[in-house]
Amino acid sequence: MTIDKMAFNSFEVFDLDEYSSPFLDLLLFCLRLSIHRLSMMASNIIRYLVVMVGAIPLVLSSKPVLQPTPPMGYNNWAALMCGLNETVFVETAQYMIKYGLLDAGYNRINLDDCWSTMSRAANGSMEWDREKFPRGLPWLTNYLKELGFIPGIYTDAGNLSCGGYPGAFGFEALDAQTFADWGFEYVKLDGCNMPTGTEAEYKSVYGRWHDVLEDIRDATGNPMIFSESAPAYFAENANLTDWYSVMNWVPKFGQLARHSRDSLVFNSTLYWPDITGWDSIMFNYGQEVRLSRYQRPGYFNDPDFLNVDHFDYTLDERKSHFALWSSFSAPLIISAWMPNLNSTEIEYLGNMGIIAVDQDPLAAQATLVSQDGTWDVLTKELANGDRLLTILNRGNCTASHSVSFARIGLPDLHMVHVKDLWTGHSTRAFKEVTAQDVPSHGTAIFRLSAPKGRCSSVPTGMIFNTFSLATLTASSGGVSWTNSSAADEQVWQTRSDGTIRALANPSTCLTDLGEGKLGLARCSRRAAQKWDYTYSGNVLSRSSNMCLTEADGGTAILNACLDQVDSQVIALPSGVKIIGS
């Protein structure tokens, strides 16, 4: 008897006649059956490929996780821009120790742009500015490490940095090795002054940096954390396809990526003369909420620095900045003049209850439950089974706001323990949680615990188009895309059985009606009511393999799945299983 190659070309034809036996025949039958089943599984997987471009490498790597929780520390840029020197970093380190910030977890000190000379050395290598750093960068990195900090450095992927200093284009391997030799263990790669500025060029250059940093890790054990700024250069395009494409590959190359604008620099009129500090926070916040599907232990969406001492922020706005970034499990990188921080600022930066949320091992990003123009409600699961609830007051007046357990994703609980993470005070809540007297631009942040064991949660919240920001809305006539209003018709349960149900009527399910039509029908466990969410942001019908789409006029339809198109990239609640992540 012979075994054919069957479904896999790696099988060779060989003769087993002399070994034939009933046992072997049974074994071969089982082998054929197993290969048939694998083939069927492969055919099911293929249907996801069009909406998973670039995702597969994320699940194949066996490398250790270099940065399991988001980095915390300091960077000079937003506060001082090019006004950096050796004294700045020596004093910053000393004051961070004095304030207890190093003990709280802020253990990185990163140099930003303008640290170098205006040209390279004769051999092509970078040189530090000896007036700014008279004892040299190797001395500085050694000094910081002796104190317990991890030093990082800035460079640019293009021909020149954003400040006009030498860029690294064409010098990637030389510069990476130079930085490692000087003692740095973290590289921030900006994206100014690229030769052509295409998405493909950014991917090629950032990919080269990934490769050279990986070589250094393998050769020396230096972790060389890689902070990527590439997405920021596509975030405000009229069409977001390139932004989505960049966001798809940055998690493969590095450990964090700045996805949008810089935080407001101290001299804000240099860049944006017409926006306030609060505008800056809300812009980057508005970009961050679109991207939760990318985040996982080892990779973090970066909404940029914490502006702790900026003159254009109220104290409540600064505290909101910290609470929101922590709710996202975002990097907490302070940019301020450290010697001038006051006791109130030091106190909130050192809030260990909120830092624990930021550093939670799940690394989940809180997602929107609802928005109504005044109140934003966000939630996520925590590693020990607790639930986070964050309530942002975007209005102009102090007010209170209540959120039902069902909206938080806890429909089966009648009581929870509620810890206010600002005050540390714990209470019990029944059926809803109320944030009392939240100031204008302030944020309430709570940790919820079940009376016994873990909170049994259902991923619940808004489903919205990340380009238009239109929200999927249920009605008696079906579903459509409308402006967010925080109505129950816009809050969706995304259940483990693959169904999607509006909180207004959870007995009805989002249903593929065939021929591209979409509606609501009584839940019946049929395939037309089962949906998958992909790494590329598509919501995929299991029955038709078509994707949820926003058509003209806010019509919700199903259409052939396309790659990263504005009408089909959708945000779902935190906790949904993501195919390809």
Phi, psi of 125 (to 5 degrees): -80, 160
Residue of higher predicted confidence among 32 and 94: 94
| pLDDT value of position 276 | 87
State the pTM of this model: 0.90
For 475-534, what is each residue's pLDDT tens digit?
999 999 999 999 999 999 999 999 999 999 999 999 999 999 999 999 998 999 999 999
Q: How far, in whole angstroms, is CA 526 from its chain's centroid?
A: 33
Secondary structure element (H or E) that encloses residue 246, with its range: helix 241-253
Asked if residues 240 and 199 have their Cβ atoms less than 8 Å apart, the reply is: no
| pLDDT value of position 265 | 84
Helix (H, G, I), strand (E, B) or coil at 222: coil
Count of CB atoms within 10 A of residue 94's CB? 13
Report residue 185 as tokens: 């263990």
Report residue 280 as tokens: 């800056």
For 158-191, what is each residue's pLDDT tens digit?
999 999 999 999 999 999 999 999 999 999 999 9
Residues 6 or more apart whose CB falls under 8 angstroms from that of 275 comprise 264, 268, 283
| pLDDT value of position 272 | 66
Residues 6 or more apart whose CB falls under 8 angstroms from that of 476 comprise none
For 317-365, what is each residue's pLDDT tens digit?
999 999 999 999 999 999 999 999 999 999 999 999 999 999 999 999 9
Mean pLDDT of the chain: 90
Reported confidence tier of residue 22, pLDDT bands at 50, 70, 90: very low
Over residues 95-100, the mean pLDDT reads: 98
Residue 225 has pLDDT above 70, yes or no: yes
Report residue 177 as tokens: 């090795």
| pLDDT value of position 30 | 41
Reported confidence tier of residue 47, pLDDT bands at 50, 70, 90: very low
For 263-300, what is each residue's pLDDT tens digit?
988 766 666 677 888 999 999 999 999 999 999 999 99
Q: Among residues of the chain, what percentage have pLDDT more than 90?
A: 84
Over residues 75-101, the mean pLDDT reads: 97
Distance CA 411, CA 414 (A): 8
Residue 418 has pLDDT above 50, yes or no: yes
Residue 5 has pLDDT above 60, yes or no: no
CB-based burial of residue 422 (10 Å sphere; 0-12 exposed, 13-18 middle, 19+ buried)?
A: middle
Asked if residues 243 and 199 have their Cβ atoms less than 8 Å apart, the reply is: no
For 524-575, what is each residue's pLDDT tens digit?
989 999 999 999 999 999 999 999 999 999 999 999 999 999 999 999 999 9
Residue 32 has pLDDT above 90, yes or no: no
For 98-143, what is each residue's pLDDT tens digit?
999 999 999 999 999 999 999 999 999 999 999 999 999 999 999 9
Report residue 364 as tokens: 């989940």
Report residue 566 as tokens: 């504005």
DSSP state of 373: S
| pLDDT value of position 1 | 29
| pLDDT value of position 343 | 98
Residue 24 has pLDDT above 60, yes or no: no
| pLDDT value of position 271 | 62
Q: How far, in whole angstroms, is CA 158 from its chain's centroid?
A: 25
Asked if residues 93 and 129 have their Cβ atoms less than 8 Å apart, the reply is: no
Phi, psi of 445 (to 5 degrees): -140, 125
Reported confidence tier of residue 62, pLDDT bands at 50, 70, 90: low
